[in-house]
Structure 1
Amino acid sequence: MAAVHPAPLPQPSHPLDHWLDPELARVSPPNAPSRLRQLADTQGTLAAAWSSAIGMGPVLVLAGAFITVMTGAAAAVLVLGLLGFVLLGLGLAFGRRVRSTLPDTSRTLISRGPGSARGGLLMAGFLALVLGGILVAMAPGIASRGATTAAGLAGAYVLFVLLLVAGIVVPSTVMGRARESFRKRATANPELRSLLEQDLITWRDPVGNASYGPL
């Protein structure tokens, strides 16, 4: 009996470069669904989480050093420093992996933070101003407790601002640039481009007739 070969997959109507064209993205409604946008947004959400870990790592190291200087407890810099380096290492390793592979889009990822650099700056700036205003109002009482207390609170405020940058501004900036960054990697990264070429051939919208692009 002759072997039965599976029917070849139909070739896509447009090549990948057509869907990656930035001009096509500009004339398309930003909320119009497409496979490329789904991939880019999902990858951006994951990359934002790991970029936050990268930013948090050095902040933990600085926090440990600050606590040790202020209290003399060497354990603070050892524990927080170790946690910071571990977080930094994990963020670098997994962040690189996320950016070079196609994400699993079968699960919905929900981000409750701002989705743009502007939104992240506004949110972080508001929180920093609120705490700064409270500290300014408490300034006379703080000054009366001596220079060490004032320096401690000033240092803690700086660490709080750095925490806001790492936890809000950095990931929101990454998410806001997700599609643009995805386009650049799809052009410059041969591994990611190969995965996209294969996905373009095999993907079919499971619930409607959404197109593969634009991005």
Structure 2
Amino acid sequence: MTVPYPAPLEQPSHSLDHWLDPELARLSPPNAPSRLRQLADAQGTVAAGWSSAIATGPLLILGGAFTTVMTGNPVAALVLGVLGAGLLALGLLLWKRTRSALPNTSRTLVSRGPGSARGGMIMAAVLAVLLGGILAAVAPGIASRGIGTVAGLTGAYVLFVLLLVACIVIPSAVLGRARDSFRRRAQSGQPLRAALEADLATWRDPVGNASYGPL
């Protein structure tokens, strides 16, 4: 009795370096789908989230210190300091892990924010100007309450602007550079390169004849 063996996978028609070629990417419409673009965009979306955590951690520490200075209560600095340090450490750990491994593309990841640094800066600037305009309109009444109130609101506004940077500008910049960053790390060596080589050898388009790249 003959035992059937599964047919070996067909060897990829092009190498990974071929698909990573920036010139090939320039010749392809940026919205044309490919496996490499799917991986880079998914990884960039997750990395953008962790980049926001990394930026928000020190901001929590700063916010706690500011609150303690304004109120004289050290609890705020202690609690927010611990939370900020923990968020920073977790963000750095998972940022590094995310960028060194291939993402799970079986789930669709959607980003609601801007997809470029410029878009993020415009959005953050609009929100900052709107709040600044509101504060400017009530400035005379605020000033009459004393220097402490003015300093408190000014510090709170600065913290709000920094929060916009942490939650909008930085993730948007990461998203905007996701494909270029993915290419650079894939070309530079392990461990992302090894994961991509293994994926290239086994991946086949499940619904058609799409190619592995370009990026």
Same fold (TM over 0.5): yes
> 2:147 is matched with which residue?
147
> What aligned pairs does 1:26-41 form with structure 2 within 5 A after superposition?
26-41=26-41
Q: Deviations over 1:122-151 (max 9, x none)?
A: 100000000011111111111100001000
Structure 1: runs of 5+ lacking an equivalent? none
TM-score by length of 2: 0.97
> 1:171 is matched with which residue?
171
> 2:90 is matched with which residue?
90
Does residue 122 of structure 1 match 2:122? yes
Q: Deviations over 1:69-123 (max 9, x none)?
A: 0001110000001000000000000000000000000000111111111110010
> 2:43 is matched with which residue?
43
Q: Which amino acid aligns with 1:183?
A: R
SS of the residue corresponding to residue 115 of structure 1 reads: coil
1:207 positional shift: 1.5
Query: How many equivalent residue pairs?
Result: 215
1:34 positional shift: 0.0
SS of the residue corresponding to residue 190 of structure 1 reads: coil
1:208 positional shift: 1.9
SS of the residue corresponding to residue 206 of structure 2 reads: coil
> 1:99 is matched with which residue?
99
> 2:22 is matched with which residue?
22
Q: Which amino acid aligns with 1:26?
A: R
Aligned identity (percent) is 73
Retained in 2: the 8 A contact 1:57–1:87?
yes
Q: Deviations over 1:3-60 (max 9, x none)?
A: 8654332110000000000000001000000000000000000000000000000000
Compute the RMSD of aligned alpha carbons: 1.2
Distance 1:189 1:69 in 2: 48
Q: Which amino acid aligns with 2:202?
A: T
120-129 vs 187-196, which moves further:
187-196
Q: Which amino acid aligns with 2:124?
A: A
Does residue 207 of structure 1 match 2:202? no
Distance 1:55 1:22 in 2: 30
Q: Deviations over 1:138-193 (max 9, x none)?
A: 11111100001000000000000000000000001000100000000101132111
Task: Spell out structure 1 runs of 4+ moving beyond 3 A.
Answer: 1-7
1:2 positional shift: 8.3
SS of the residue corresponding to residue 186 of structure 2 reads: helix
Distance 1:176 1:77 in 2: 34
> 2:111 is matched with which residue?
111
Q: Which amino acid aligns with 2:54?
A: I
Q: Which amino acid aligns with 2:68?
A: T
Retained in 2: the 8 A contact 1:100–1:189?
no
